[in-house]
Amino acid sequence: MTQFGTTSDGRTVDALTIAAHGLTARILTFGAILQDLRLNGVAHNLTIGSSDLADYEDTFKYHGAIVGPVANRITNATAGIDGFDHRFETNLDGKHTLHGGKNGTHARIWNVAHHSAAQLDLTLDLRDGDSGFPANRTITARFDIIQGPSLRLTITTTTDAPSIANLTNHSYWNLDGTDHMRDHTLQIKAATYLPANDASFPTGEIEPVAQTPFDFTERRHLSLGSTPLDHTFCLANGRQDLTEGLHLTGASGLSMHVSTTEAGIHIYDDRPTYGSIAIEAQAWPDAPRHPRFPSIEITPQCPAVQVTQWRFSR
């Protein structure tokens, strides 16, 4: 463990490294950020990161972080939970909640619970009422490097009362180490997606990808700039067994295979630069507002256990 830097409000941030099977990951205690990911024989970082902590408080906000306690958008910053209405912190357009609010999990210092050569456990306690979310909750993020080589992330959220939870890693990816994504191909094993309005909120509809620009069921090049990508692709109707759902391949032939237990994968195209894409395995966004969407409620008896795995091949 080494000191990475100090936040603008004086908090110390450490960096921890895990490595095995030719894969090395560097993770920060600030936001549980995946800051650097290296594969033996590849000269560049596979994910988009910065060596300057100040970037993560500014232009790199959300990059590589675990965002939550509820990722993505909550319309009007309100939701009904266990029969009661709750209002959350507004940090989007002055009236909505994005990624858990201004002080979501991406902006917290996580605690180191365990660190070994190939495994790291970070924990974070959120008190009842924090940013408006009910219940005392404990979030554990376990990073493992396993055969593949693969990086596996298991996010477990426990609670002492009914609440909602939908966390995700918000890494941006470019497998070629270039400043653009146009030579990458993408495949997503999703027959349906969630249409969104101009502000990227899901409309509540669930539509087939066939004969739309969102059809990635067969591998194809990214058509960046033609159709904005800020959409969730539906892998299942609820949490599932760990299942491979996405392939991203660079011009070099390096591929990333993403498996997840989550019902969706949200893709954001990092416009206007198109230098990377965000790949966020998560439950469907704004779920409390849409009865047809799988529930993200958790209880003391039913915690949330979310697993995402990134496997690399050449």
Give pLDDT, residue 195: 98
pLDDT 10s digits, 268-283: 999 999 999 999 999 9
| Interacting residues of 75 by C-beta distance below 8 A, sequence separation 6+ | 96, 201, 286, 289
CA distances, 83 to each of 76, 80, 86, 130, 287 (Å): 18, 6, 10, 19, 15
Q: How many CB atoms lie within 10 A of CB 285?
A: 28
Residue 224 — very low, low, confident or very high, per pLDDT cuts 50/70/90?
confident
> 143-181: per-residue pLDDT in tens?
999 999 999 999 999 999 999 999 999 999 999 999 999
Whether 168 contacts 67, CB under 8 Å: yes
**Six token digits for residue 145:** 């490097």
Between the alpha carbon of residue 174 and those of residues 98, 185, 231, 252, the distances in Å are 24, 11, 19, 11
> Residue 221 belongs to what domain range?
2-313
Instruction: Give mean pLDDT, residues 277-300.
Output: 97
Query: Cα angle vertex 169, ends 29, 191, to 5°?
Result: 175
Tally the domains of the chain: 1
User: Is the distance from CB of 299 to CB of 159 less than 8 angstroms?
Assistant: yes
pLDDT digits (tens, 9 = 90+) for 246-265: 999 999 999 999 999 999 99
H/E run at residue 267: strand 264-268
CB atoms within 10 A of CB 78: 17
What average pLDDT is seen over the chain? 97
> Which H or E run contains 54?
helix 53-56
pTM over 0.85: yes
Q: What is the CATH number of the domain that holds 123?
A: 2.70.98.10
